[in-house]
Structure 1
Amino acid sequence: MLRNCLVVAVEGTHASGKTTLTHALAAHFRERGVHVACVPEPARNSPFIEEIVVHGRGEFDLETEVDLFAAQLSSQLRVARQHTMIICDKTIANVLAYAWLVLPGGPEGPHAPVLRAMEAFCRAWASVYDAVFYCCDKFDQHQIGDPYRSKVLDIQPAADRVVRSICATVGQRIFDIPPNMSTSARVGWIAEQLTTLGLNPTSR
């Protein structure tokens, strides 16, 4: 929880339906009178990612990953100031997991000190997320007009393993969403879990 704001996150690899679900969840709770907002994935607004993906200049580097990590954290903090509930499109642990995958040498490579510092912060920050729900499904990664997935098309299985591993390493508890559910069914299932956990925002 950030101040008095309930913090819910939707986790998973790319093309698992995270963004669609965060918006559907926000709509569900907004219709029930909750002052809620989505916290979008910052990668799509990152000048570093735009340079790499859209303009084809350079590769993923430490500066890119640190910027994404900071932007993910900052966006959550800023949106939480003005709402009673936020729904985050992934956690900062997810950013760390992808950094492990795309940076040379991963956690044992030349950027190990920074990655370990990010890991320590993720561990200290894990309790801020009141509930984290993990998308287990994998959808078609090839979307016309979306260049942002082109650089990570071949690492979805590895990303799934590493995101789960990082969450476990930093003590981030996750709840697996049952597979093969429609978006509306996913929303209903999560709403039920929040009630069971004593986190129903409609009763706060």
Structure 2
Amino acid sequence: MDGTHAAGKTTLIHALTAHYRRQGVNVVAMGEPARTSPFMEEIVLYDRSGFDLAAEVDVFAAHLGLQLRTARNHTLLIADKTIVNVLAYARLLLVDPDERSTAVLEAMEMFCLAWAHTYDMIVFTQDRYTQPGDAFRAKVTDLQNDADAILRQTYTRLGVPLVELPGGLDTDERVRWVVDQAARHGVFPTG
């Protein structure tokens, strides 16, 4: 699942996970490592520093590590964004990167180029939901349109196709739509 913050990804991955569990599938939902990053806690919750290269590399590495560990013993992994999302936000948040930051971002992009094709299907949602009291989302809500554009540009540059989730669907309709698309793309059977 991918899209900007507050696009309904987390709600959808949990609903999809429940759907597939009822079908007897060994499925797991992967959360957002940024929410447990000490760097992001300092930036978002305590406003102690700004987004920097160390924070972005930490989230990139944590995301990849969590994905690998979570998928290891499951038939189906439903991820709450991809490492391409982490890269896109890093490019957006690191304003005027210096030479070192630019080199690291380029290395992250090269890794994404090699890795992004391991995702069987990337469903992209562009809905916007308000989440009162969620400091993590509040910090980047004003970036949603820019983040959406950078995400799409990054996927296009990497040659990774997106499956566009129609907007305005309720959670049950979203689940049915994604399950149908997964079956149509040969990713996972309808159940």
Which of 52, 56, 65 aligns to 2:56? It is 65
**SS of corresponding position for 2:23:** coil
For the 8 Å contact 2:43–2:51, the answer to whether it is kept is yes
What residue in structure 2 maps to residue 78 of structure 1?
69
**SS of corresponding position for 2:122:** strand
Q: Any idea what the Cα deviations from partners look like across 1:152-179, whole Å, max 9, x if unmatched?
A: 1211110110111111111221100011
CA distance in 2, matches of 1:188, 1:165: 28
For the 8 Å contact 2:17–2:29, the answer to whether it is kept is yes
Moved over 4 A (4+): none
Unmatched 5+ stretches in structure 1? 1-9
Which of 31, 46, 54 aligns to 1:40? It is 31
- Determine which structure has the larger helix proportion and give its number: 2
CA distance in 2, matches of 1:166, 1:176: 15
2:43 aligned partner, one-letter code:
I
Using structure 1 for the length normalisation, give the TM-score.
0.89
What residue in structure 1 maps to residue 17 of structure 2?
26
Deviation at residue 133 of structure 1 after TM alignment: 0.2
Using structure 2 for the length normalisation, give the TM-score.
0.95
For the 8 Å contact 1:126–1:171, the answer to whether it is kept is no
What residue in structure 1 maps to residue 106 of structure 2?
116
Unmatched 5+ stretches in structure 2? none
**SS of corresponding position for 1:69:** helix
**SS of corresponding position for 2:6:** coil
CA distance in 2, matches of 1:194, 1:156: 26
